[in-house]
């Protein structure tokens, strides 16, 4: 229905290179409606879309690509879908990865900040570390944490095993990549070690924060347990450890490392390591 006083209107589709379709609408009270020149100018807007350029620029990338880069696929979809309010969270049964670079504090203390940043960039470029291809569509990564949905336990046990196997594959790939990295510093060569704890459980996933600052992250007892297991991995000089829950889903290739009290938890947790891994000296 045309608004009172409006003599002409036009609606134009706007197509973006990320596949999304939007629209713009224009009205005029000009007697006789839009002129031919005005219509031509408005129709030229149909070619408006996000374009790549020869120069790398954040403004040249589609919003979905920017969000995927910073918060992951699923979080990016939710933010674009308008789920940006504080407390907008979901629960998810997930495989949880929590990792830590060994000796990072000492490394940061004895090397220039620019060198430390370059080392981190090289580490995150390694297969399985910052680009865990074995996770396929990709995990949601938040700092040292990553979570990949493994489906509801009541629905598909096979889906859980498949997802957990991909996470373990990525952990093995990360271990090999980090062990192979040699970073020359003057006449010396820096080598690196890191630890990964793997667990499965329910997490709360979404917007948490206050005021005008929100963090899209995952929290919950399962995440806390993974953090504790990662510390145990360091004490045992292991690169990859897993909870009984994860080892039970992703069976095979594990050795029982014993039962350990977990700070903040009422029950001890049995911890598993990989059979093919020799603890570092």
Tens digit of each residue's pLDDT (9 = 90 or more) over 204-259: 877 777 767 777 778 899 999 999 999 999 999 999 999 999 999 887 789 999 99
Range of the domain at 59: 51-84
> Is 3 part of a structural domain of the chain?
no
Per-residue model confidence as pLDDT tens digits over 115-145 = 999 998 888 887 666 654 444 444 444 445 5
The percent of residues above 70 in pLDDT, for the chain, comes to 68
Residue identified by tokens 């149909």 is 46
How far apart are alpha carbons 100 and 241 in whole angstroms?
Answer: 12
In this predicted structure, the answer to whether residue 260 has a pLDDT above a threshold of 80 is: yes
Helix axes 63-71, 73-80, angle to 10 degrees: 130
Q: Is residue 191 part of a domain?
A: yes
Q: What is the CATH number of the domain that holds 267?
A: 3.30.70.1230
Closest residue by Cα to residue 129 from 90, 87, 171, 158: 171
The alpha carbon of residue 196 and the mean position of all alpha carbons in its chain are separated, in whole angstroms, by: 16
202, 75: one domain: no
Select from 61, 84, 107 the last residue of a domain.
84
Longest dimension (CA), the chain: 86
Sequence-distant (≥ 6) Cβ neighbours of residue 211 within 8 angstroms: none
pLDDT tens, position by position, 183-206:
998 888 998 888 999 999 888 877
Q: How confident is the model at residue 24 (pLDDT cuts 50, 70, 90)?
A: confident
Q: Report residue 224 as tokens.
A: 């806390």
Strand pairing category for 145-149 and 89-101: antiparallel
The confidence score (pLDDT) of residue 128 equals 62
The DSSP-derived string for 146-180 is EEEE---TTT-HHHHHHHHHHHHHHHHHHHHHHHH
Query: Is the model more confident about 277 or about 21?
Result: 277
pLDDT at position 270 is: 95
Strand, helix or coil at 6?
A: coil
Q: d(Cα 281, Cα 276) in Å, to the nearest integer?
A: 16
For residues 215, 138, 253 and 235, what is the CA-based torsion angle, rounded to 10 degrees? -30
Cα→Cα distances 146→34, 129, 138, 149, Å: 54, 11, 9, 10
Same-domain check for residues 80 and 139:
no
Confidence band (pLDDT; 50, 70, 90) for 57?
very low
pLDDT at 70 over 80: no
Q: Count how many Cα atoms sit within 13 Å of the Cα of residue 211 in the half-sphere of its side chain.
A: 2
On whether both 21 and 128 belong to a single domain, the answer is no
Predicted confidence (pLDDT) at residue 39 exceeds the cutoff of 90: no
Q: Is the pLDDT of residue 16 over 80?
A: no
Q: Are residues 157 and 22 in the same domain?
A: no
Left (φ > 0), alpha (ψ -120 to 50) or beta: where does 203 sit? beta
Both 107 and 169 in one domain: the answer is yes
**Same domain? 65 vs 43:** no
Identify whether 279 is part of a domain.
Answer: no
The count of structural domains within the chain is: 3
Q: What is the pLDDT of residue 8?
A: 75
- 7 or 220: which carries more pLDDT confidence? 220
Residue 151 predicted with pLDDT over 50? no
Q: What is the pLDDT of residue 61?
A: 56
Instruction: For residue 281, tell me if it sits in a domain.
Output: no
Question: Is 244 in the same domain as 110?
Answer: yes
Q: Are residues 77 and 172 in the same domain?
A: no
- Closest-CA residue to 70 (of 130, 156, 9): 130
Tell me which DSSP letter residue 131 carries. B
């Amino acid at each position: 229905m045309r608004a009172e006083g409006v003599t002409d209107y036009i609606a134009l589709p706007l197509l973006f290179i990320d596949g999304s379709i939007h629209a713009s609408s224009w009205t005029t009270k000009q007697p006789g409606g839009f002129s031919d020149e005005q219509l031509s100018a408005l129709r030229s807007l149909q070619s408006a879309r996000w374009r790549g350029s020869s120069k790398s620029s954040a403004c040249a990338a589609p919003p979905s690509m920017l969000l995927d880069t910073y918060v992951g696929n699923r979080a990016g979809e939710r933010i674009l879908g308008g789920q940006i309010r504080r407390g907008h969270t979901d629960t998810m049964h997930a495989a949880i990865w929590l990792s830590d670079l060994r000796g990072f504090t000492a490394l940061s203390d004895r090397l220039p900040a620019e060198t430390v940043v370059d080392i981190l960039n090289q580490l995150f470029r390694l297969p399985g570390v910052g680009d865990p291809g074995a996770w396929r569509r990709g995990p949601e990564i938040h700092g040292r944490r990553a979570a990949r949905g493994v489906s509801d336990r009541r629905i598909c046990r096979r889906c859980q095993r498949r997802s957990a196997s991909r996470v373990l594959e990525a952990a093995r790939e990360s271990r090999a990549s980090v062990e192979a990295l040699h970073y020359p510093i003057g006449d010396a060569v820096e080598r690196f070690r890191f630890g990964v704890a793997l667990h499965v459980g329910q997490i709360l996933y979404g917007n948490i924060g206050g005021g005008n600052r929100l963090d899209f992250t995952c929290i919950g007892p399962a995440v806390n347990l993974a953090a504790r297991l990662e510390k145990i991995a360091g004490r045992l000089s292991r690169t990859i450890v897993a909870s009984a829950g994860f080892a039970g889903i992703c069976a095979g290739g594990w050795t029982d490392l014993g039962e350990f009290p977990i700070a903040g938890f009422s029950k001890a947790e049995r911890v598993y390591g990989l059979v093919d891994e020799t603890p570092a000296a």
